[in-house]
Amino acid sequence: MKKILCNVEKVKTSYQDRKILILDCFVEMEDGGFLSVFNTVLDSYNEELKNREGSQYGCELIRQLLDFFGVDDLSEIKNYKCWLLTNKAMVWSSSDVLGFEQLSCSEFKNNQKKLLKSDLERYIPRKD
């Protein structure tokens, strides 16, 4: 797994087309590139109600982001340095990103956190 130093500039939620709730995590990479790393849909469409509703995946992603960054509100995440994790030689899109890892700190080396997209997959509803 490759680590790229990045600066998480901000994390925000917003409504996009057709009132779809999106989470964006904007980062600047050490080479100067900018990217929204998660760019994730937080809700889902309920066929029965013909309406969008919150999802377990969206709630868990927000909860884990708050825990990883050690904040109580997504708006508090500003200019946070961490590692961007990837298996690619270059990161071109959010799909190239596996997650985040906190920078090493001798004081907290036993509590160094990772936030991996793959750990959240179990919260994605399956369509059987």
Residue 74 domain boundaries:
2-123
**Is 83 part of any domain?**
yes
H helices within the chain, ranges in order? 56-69, 117-120
**Is 85 part of any domain?**
yes
Instruction: Tell me how far CA of residue 74 lies from CA of 21, 31, 33, 50, 118, in angstroms.
Output: 15, 25, 22, 29, 21
**Is 12 part of any domain?**
yes
| pLDDT tens figures, 5-28 | 999 999 999 998 888 999 999 999
**Is 104 part of any domain?**
yes
| pLDDT tens figures, 108-123 | 566 688 999 988 888 8
**Is 46 part of any domain?**
yes
Distance CA 69, CA 12 (A): 14
Domain count, the chain: 1
The pTM score is 0.87
**Is 128 part of any domain?**
no
**Is 67 part of any domain?**
yes
